Amino acid sequence: MHATIQKPIEEILTCFKKGERVFVVGCGNCAEKCHSGGVPETKGMAERLMRRGVQVAGWACTNSGVSLCKLVVTRKMLMEEHKSEVAQTDSFLVLACGQGIHTVIDATDGGTVHVGCDTIFGGETISDDFITEYCSLCGECIVESTGGLCPVTLCAKSLLNGPCGGAKNGKCEVDKNRDCGWQLIYDRLNALGRVDQMKKYLAPKRNSKWSRPRSLSVQSEVATFKSLAGECKVFNTDLPNPPTGKE
């Protein structure tokens, strides 16, 4: 299981351009258990965005107990069951872990994604087939700036600000059989017409968020994540007078 916590609504709102039509996607497995992206939170996020003037094309969540990171399930949900809504969509706000984000990219043949949650740590995951990694569970997701691809995971050196210069013919100097993570990011941003994002400086991560053991306390309206970096509270719904979102 991958534990996730919603990003503050104020941070999510900065991702959208004026007039952008957004489709909200949730996960009925891990994110549902964390109250960060199940049916109530996915529907609730769509309503919260609309109240703030965002154009919402629709929302969808996998069935309870079904992971968003199962490609065949997500592709059917978005490209068949919600085909008409997706056809009117500019981007997808994903309320799931980093693996779910990449699955939405693949399921929509390269659709633009926005990050709705921070993936803070992973538990046991069991698969009947091949598994590949797209998320390092750092708890401070920055793939909004890299086209939905994580440089911490895809780059052998986990570089946050562009390639090292050692890659050759698109392959990593550390492993010649491995694609350069930053080449993948560049190709992705180029396909989206967002290469200018490469100019954005990504500040060093707060590695204290990786400290172990970490804990996540979840309730229907608020989640509390604790690490050496301190305590972080995020509210998954609009409360009458909520405390500050992140401390």
Distance CA 211, CA 160 (A): 20
Query: How far is residue 103 from each of residues 134, 221, 231, measured CA to CA in Å?
Result: 10, 27, 30
In this structure, which amino acid lies at residue 1? M
Question: What is the per-residue pLDDT across 20-76, written as a single tens digit (0 to 9) for each?
Answer: 999 999 999 999 988 999 999 999 999 999 999 999 999 999 999 999 999 999 999
Return the DSSP state at 210: G
In this structure, which amino acid lies at residue 241? N
- 130 vs 11, residue with greater confidence: 11
- The pLDDT assigned to 237 comes to 86
- Tokens linked to 136: 């390092």
Distance CA 114, CA 102 (A): 11
Distance CA 210, CA 203 (A): 16
Question: What is the per-residue pLDDT across 183-222, written as a single tens digit (0 to 9) for each?
Answer: 999 999 999 999 999 999 999 988 887 777 878 888 888 8
Distance of CA 54 to the CA centre of its chain: 19
Distance CA 131, CA 92 (A): 24
Q: Would you say residue 172 has pLDDT above 90?
A: yes
Distance CA 19, CA 16 (A): 8
- Domain ranges in the chain? 2-142+205-235
**What is the CATH topology of the domain spanning 2-142+205-235?**
Rossmann fold (3.40.50)
Q: Would you say residue 246 has pLDDT above 50?
A: no
- 219 vs 174, residue with greater confidence: 174
- The pLDDT assigned to 242 comes to 56
Distance CA 25, CA 34 (A): 15
Q: Would you say residue 16 has pLDDT above 90?
A: yes
**Considering only CA atoms, which of 121, 59, 147 is closest in space to residue 95?**
59
The pLDDT mean for the chain works out to 89
Burial of 179 (0-12, 13-18, 19+ CB in 10 A): middle
